[in-house]
Amino acid sequence: MKQLTQMPKPTAKKALVYCRVSSARQKEQGHGLDSQEHRCRQYAAMHGYGVEQVFPDDVTGGGDFMKRPGMVALIRYLDAHPREDYVVIFDDLKRFARDREFHFKLRHALKLRGASVECLNFRFEDTPEGEFVETVFAAQGQLERQQNSRQVVQKMRACIEAGYYIFGPPLGYKFITSKDGRKMIGPDEPVASILKEALEGFASGRFQTPTEVKRHLDAIPAFPKHKNGEVRLGSLIELMNRPVYAGYITVEKWGIYLRPGKHKPLIDFATWKQIQERLKSKSNAPARKDLNQDFPLRGFVTCGCCDHPLTAGWSKGRNKSYAYYTCQQKGCDDYKKSIRKDKIEGDFEALLKELQPSPCLSRTAWDMLSDLWASRRNDAEANASAARSEMAKLEKKSESLIERLVVADNATLITAYEGEIKKLEEQKIILREKALQTYQTPDTFEHIYRTAMAFLANPWKLWASDLLEHKRMVLRLAFPQRLPYSRNEGYRTAGLAEPFRLLRDLSMPKYGLVELVGIEPTTSCMPCKRSPN
């Protein structure tokens, strides 16, 4: 009797499960991924499949499956196991690809890797009729995706046109709930105040370049930094270009330009425009990477012989190091001739102390500014009225350009009209702010000008600060141009900033009074007796 050989049991087919939700929010707040995985595992167990791996996705990726990390990982997994015969299981046809073109591209990509696909609520058939039905379902998914996208964009655009910022809050802002219960952005302190100071400082010239703004922010622990512990210059420049900080919203891809926002601005629009102009222009005093506390005059003081900026450094002696300023311009008579740090900086401090006006002159300047402040307050309404009148003229001009734009059929003319309309809108915004400006500020004249007058009264006090930023500020505020320095003669005649020049002119008498010698003439052809007075 022949012995029967036992046939080997067929091994279970290996399965890979793919699950997808449209956003991370659905993943965190819902149970979409868990429920999809549960149903797919039940389907696999019912058909005798062994689930080997699960690939979840929480991004939509549009129609392109290669933008979904989970699907990319699944394809790479198949590439890493080329000899395995897998079946890919997913919950619904819409989870596969909501785009007709990418649907069949994904089907082809899986087929090339020897994987079959199975869906819980759709049966794939390799027949003309089956392909037609599959095409209809894929096209329906694409239609729904595009309709949803259009609806979302329409709602987002409506919110922006109503003045609500709907994207991720920019640096310095956070989402808050308004009084009417709507979600909007509001200042996020202390970052908002830090950023406001930096933006206004760059607009006013306190910081000459974005690099100086970066260094200022790097030194503030409360300001967010990049992974390397510093503020990224590129991100800072992009931030300085955003009109959202001036209270306006721009979305170019939707044709929305400078829409007034409901949120509180950090700066006014005129300041933002000044920032844009300064970003486009070249700075007169560029910030150097090698500026440091040891040599605050580096790059600002020039050689009195060749007028090139002096550089500085430490020279190592036998027992200690010595600090010098030197001219590195070849061909100069003072080329590589050193000037002691204490000599050149001591002369500069003496120059600063000479700028200090007398107490009497400081009080006179204070009274003059106070009178000017009062005059400006009186003229505020006249200026506002003039701004409103000019704004009305610009409004008519803008309407005329819009009428021309509507009937224009030349691309060059359309571009020119659109550019001109944008410029007019910016001018109207500035005039609108001027029309609303008054000098009825909560701050008093004394509070606003106290710091400025303290600096004018004693600029050397700010120079004595330990902060390099303060020293560089003194250079820019007191001297509009670089200072030439001669090794033998010291500082040449320095050009002063306007406030210091005016104070100097007031302190230097240009006219003398005729000395009183008596009522009668000092000489006479007739003998006479002089008055005792």
pLDDT, tens only, 64-98: 667 788 888 988 999 998 888 899 998 887 777 77
Q: How far apart are CA 200 and CA 206, in angstroms?
A: 8
Q: What's the rounded mean pLDDT across residues 249-254?
A: 86
More confident residue, 499 or 160: 160
In this model, does residue 190 exceed pLDDT 60?
Answer: yes
For 13-156, the fitting CATH number among 2.60.40.3500, 3.40.50.1390, 3.40.50.10860, 3.10.129.10 is: 3.40.50.1390
Res 381: pLDDT: 65
For the chain, what are the domain ranges? 13-156, 173-280, 301-356+458-507, 359-455
* Helices (H), ranges, 114-127: none
What sign does the dihedral 153-156-160-162 (CA atoms) show?
A: positive
Res 238: pLDDT: 92
pTM over 0.85: no
Element (H, E) at 46: helix 32-46
Nearest 5°: CA angle at 315, between 314 and 321? 80
Tell me, which fold does domain 173-280 have in CATH?
Hect, E3 ligase catalytic domain fold (3.90.1750)
CB 21 within 8 A of CB 33: yes
In this model, does residue 181 exceed pLDDT 50?
Answer: yes
CB 269 within 8 A of CB 387: no
Q: How confident is the model at residue 378 (pLDDT cuts 50, 70, 90)?
A: low
CB 121 within 8 A of CB 92: yes
Res 291: pLDDT: 54
pLDDT, tens only, 259-299: 888 889 999 888 888 898 888 875 444 444 445 677 888 87
The encoded tokens of residue 313 equal 């450094």
Measure Cα distances from 296 to 282, 312, 338, 470 in Å.
Answer: 22, 10, 16, 10
